[in-house]
Structure 1
Amino acid sequence: MPPAGQVKESERLAFAQRYRALQHGGIVRAANASISCRATLGTCAGIRRGERLVPGAGGARAAVNGDLDMFYVDVDSDPNTYNSSRAEVRVPQGGRVSYARLYWGGNLRVGEQKPPKDNGRVLIAEPGGQYKELLADSVVGHRVAHGADAFQASADVTKLVRASGSGLYTVAQVNVAMGRSTAGAWGGWTLVVAYEKAAEPLRHLAVWDGFDALGGRTGDGTLVRLAELAFPAGANGSAGLVAYNGDRGSAGDSLTVSAAGRTTALGDAANPLDDVLNSTIGGAVSERVPAYANTLGYDSDVFELGTALRRGGDQLAFRLVSQRDAAWAGALFVAVDARQ
C-alpha cells in the first residue's frame, strides 16, 4: 500500500461490486458527520434538530450547508485532531463479522482549501481503543466541479471490527474544509459491516461502491443492478445509501428499486420519496456522538424494501437520481432474504 499521498485518484469511479455473500446474517451500519454549523450561531440549535427554516425566494425553506458558516465536529479530547465523531456498530449477539468497510469523504474547498494529498488517510479508534492510521486501499474518487472539490475514499477494516465487535467507533481527520461558500461544506463517514449468524434467515448480502456525480440534466442517475439474486415473494430486505451534498427541502432526489417488472420509490418518515438526499443518517437506530438530525450535506440512510420485494424475483435494480449538479453517490449496500 503506497503512502496516502500516492493513492491514485479518479474523477469518476463506476459503481462496482465490493462484497457479495449468501449467508445467514445481515448488514449493519454506523455513520456520522464530520462537520456542522458553528456552535456559536444561535441558528445551529434548531438546524441540528432538523427544524430551522430560513427565508428563500419562494418563502421559508429548510436551512442547507450553503447558508451557513460550517466548522468541524470534534468530540474527542485529543488536541492533535481537528475533527472527530462517533457512531455505534450493533452486531447482533452471537453474530460474527464477515466483512467491514469504512467510507469517508467530503468537500475540500469552502472558506479554506484542504490539500487532496490527505484524502486517503483517516484515524479510526475501536470501542475503548486508541487511534490507528487507516489508509485507502483502492482508487480515491476526487472531482472538482460546480464550486466544490469533492472526494470519497474507503478501506477494508474487517480485522479491526471482527476483533473489536459492537460499540462506539471514532473516526477522525476526515479531510474536509470549514467555512462558508455557495457550494457549502459537507463531510462524514460510514462503516458498513456484514455479519453471519446461524439463527437469522439466509440472505443475499451485497456492497457496491463508486464515486458518481448525480447531475440532473439527463435524468439517468446512477444505476446499480444486482442480478442472480433469487428471492421469494414477500421477502424482507433493506438497502443502504451513502451520498454527498444533498440539500434538505430540495425536491427531485429519488432512489428507486425495480424487481419483477415493478418499480418502487424508496423513502420513509425521515426521507420523502422525492427528497431522499436530505442530510440525514436514517434507518436502524444506533447511538451517535453528536446525534444531529440535520447532517448538512451528508447522507447515510437505510431503507426497508418492503413491498418492492412482494412478487419475488432474481434481480434488483437500484437507480439514484438527483436534480442537483453537485451531488455525489458513494456506496450502496443491500441485504435481502434468499430463496430457499
Structure 2
Amino acid sequence: MRQTLGQLLRRTTVGVLALAAMWTPCGAAAAAPVAPAPEADSLAFGERYRTLQHGNIVRAANSSHTCRAQASTCRDVQAGAPGVNGGFDMGYIDVDKDPNTYNSSRAEVRLPAGSRVTYARLYWGGNLLVGEQKPAADNERVLIAEPGGDYKELLADTVVGHRVADGADAFQASADVTRLVRDSVPGLYTVAQLNVAGGRSAAGAWGGWTLVVAYENPAEPLRHLSVWDGFQPLGAREGVAVALRDMPYAAGAGGRVGLVAYNGDRGTTGDSLTLATGDGPSAAFGDGANPLDDVLNSTVSDPAGAPARVPAYANTLGYDSDVFDLGTGLPRAGDRATVRLTSQRDAAWAGVLFAAVDARR
C-alpha cells in the first residue's frame, strides 16, 4: 500500500535524508539539512546530460489537470476535440485513491529488453494562479512512486524556474532520479502533489510532469544522447534554441527529438519545432498528433506508439510532452545542428528539449 502524504510529512526529515543518501552520487557520512531550492524567473537552456552510447532516450509523462466532467463538452475534449484550458473550470486528475493527495497521474517508462538506465530526471511544473493562489514555497516538492512502490518525497536539486507573466504564475522544477529508475521494474510511475492551482481564468489551469530516461543497450545503434533544460517564455523572437555541437553524424542519420512545454493551446497556430544542420535551412517537425504549425497543442505523443498513461487524455489542456522521429531531418553529414522551439501566439513556456541522434562511425 502506498504511504499517504500525511504519513510522509510526519517523517519528512527522515525521508528527505534517506532520499539524499540514495540519490546522490556519493554517500556522505552524515547528511546535511536540505536547503530550499533557489528560484529564478528565467533560466537559460543549458545541457543537463550528454553521452555517446548504444541506446536511446525515452520518457513517461502525464498532465495534472483536466476539465470538470460537468461541462457538456468535457468528454469530447478529453478524447481529442478542440478545447483550451481557459475555456473550462479545471479540476485535478487524481488516480491514486489516496485521500491525502489532491492530484496524481501515471505513465509508463518503456525500455527494451537488455537495457540499463544511465540517466533519469523528473521534471514537473504548472500554474499557481487560477481560481486560487498556491504558495510558491511548495514548487520544489513532489511525490513519486515507482512501479509497485510507495510514494517518496522528492525535492528539486537545481534552480527552480518561477515567473509571473501573462496572467499566470508559472514554474518548473526538476530532480535526478537515476538510481530510483535504474533499480525499478518496468511499469507505471505515479507522480502526485504537483503544486498547481485549479479553477478558471483567462490564463487557464495547467501542469504536468515528464520523466526523461536515457538508457544503454548493446543491440541499438551508437547514438549521441543529449538533454537540455531551462525555463523560458516562448515568442516569435525569443524562442528557445539549443546547439548540438561536436556530435558527428552521417547523412540520413536517424534519431528522435523531444520537448516539454506548458500552456500550449490546441488550435492556436504559430508554434513550431525546427531542426537546422550546419548552415542549411530549417526543417519543421510534425506528425499525425502535432501539426507543423501547432506543435504545442496539448499532447503527450510518441512516434513509436505512446506508452501507457492513466488517464490517457488525448487533449491534455495545456501540457505538451512530445517525441518526434528525426526522419530525413539530417540529409547531410555533419557534426552540429540547432533545435529551435518558438511560439508566435501561445503564451507558452519551454522546459525541456532532448535529442538522440545516430552517430557517425
Question: Is the CA contact 1:262–1:308 (under 8 Å) kept in the aligned structure 2?
Answer: no
C-alpha separation in 1, matches of 2:185 and 2:239: 36
- TM-score by structure 1 length? 0.94
CA drift at 1:325 = 6.1
Give the whole-Å Cα distance in 2 for the aligned partners of 1:194 and 1:128.
Answer: 21
For 2:17, the equivalent position in structure 1 comes to none
Indicate if the aligned counterparts of 1:12 and 1:142 stay in contact, CA closer than 8 A. yes
| SS in structure 2 at match of 1:45 | helix
- Give the structure 2 partner of residue 232 of structure 1: 250
Shift of 1:5: 7.8
CA distance change for structure 1 residues 37 and 24 in 2, over 3 Å: closer, same or farther? same
Tell me whether 1:211 sits opposite 2:241 in the alignment.
Answer: no
- Return the alpha-carbon distance in structure 2 between the equivalents of residues 320 and 149 of structure 1: 21
The answer to whether the Cα contact below 8 Å between 1:25 and 1:194 also exists between their aligned partners in 2 is: yes
Find 1:264's aligned residue among 273, 283, 289.
283
> Contact (CA 8 Å) 1:25, 1:202: kept in 2 or not?
yes
Q: Which residue of structure 1 lines up, in the alignment, with residue 298 of structure 2?
A: 279
Residue 37, structure 1, aligned to residue 56, structure 2:
no
Please list, as runs of the form range in 1=range in 2, the aligned pairs for 1:127-138 lying within 5 A after superposition: 127-138=147-158
Is residue 18 of structure 1 aligned with residue 48 of structure 2? yes
**Partner of residue 154, structure 1:** 174
SS at match of 1:160: helix
1:328 equivalent to 2:342? Answer no
Instruction: Output the CA distance in 2 between the equivalents of 1:194 and 1:252.
Output: 31
Rounded Cα–Cα distance in structure 1 between residues aligned with 2:246 and 2:33: 38
Instruction: List gaps (5 residues or longer) in structure 2.
Output: 1-19, 21-31
Tell me which stretches of 4 or more aligned residues in structure 1 moved more than 3 Å.
1-5
How many residues matched? 328
**CA shift at 1:220, angstroms?**
4.2
Query: Normalised by the size of structure 2, how large is the TM-score?
Result: 0.89
**Which secondary structure does the structure 2 equivalent of 1:306 belong to?**
coil
TM superposition shift of 1:3: 7.5
Question: Does the C-alpha gap of structure 1 residues 315 and 165 become closer, same or farther in structure 2, counting only changes over 3 Å?
Answer: farther
Q: Does 1:163 align with 2:193?
A: no
Runs of 5+ in structure 1 lacking a partner? Answer: 52-61
Residue of structure 2 in register with 1:118 after alignment: 138
Superposed CA offset, 1:96-151 (max 9, x none): 00000000000000000000000000000000111000000000000000100000
The answer to whether the Cα contact below 8 Å between 2:198 and 2:205 also exists between their aligned partners in 1 is yes
Contact 1:143/1:150 (CA < 8 Å) preserved in 2? yes
1:272-328 deviation per Cα after TM superposition (whole angstroms, max 9, x unaligned): 111100000011320000000000010000011111112121011011110136210
TM-aligned CA deviation for residue 199 of structure 1: 1.1
Question: Normalized per residue, which structure has more strand?
Answer: 1
Question: For residue 334 of structure 2, what is the amino acid of its counterpart?
Answer: G
Conserved? CA contact 2:271–2:346, under 8 Å: no
Whether 1:95 and 2:115 are equivalent positions in the alignment is: yes
Give the SS at the match of 1:85: strand
Identity %: 70
Deviations 1:31-79 (A, max 9, x none): 000111012323111000112xxxxxxxxxx310000000000000111
- Larger mean CA deviation between 261-270 and 188-197 belongs to 261-270
Select which of 218, 227, 246 maps to 2:264: 246
User: For residue 90 of structure 2, what is the amino acid of its counterpart?
Assistant: M
User: Which amino acid in structure 2 is aligned with residue 200 of structure 1?
Assistant: E
* Separation in 1, partners of 2:283, 2:346: 24
- CA shift, 1:4, in A, is 7.9
Q: Which amino acid aligns with 1:319?
A: R
1:314 to 327, 331, 335: 335
CA RMSD, 1 decimal = 1.3
1:339 offset after TM fit, Å? 0.6
Query: Secondary structure of 1:66's match?
Result: helix
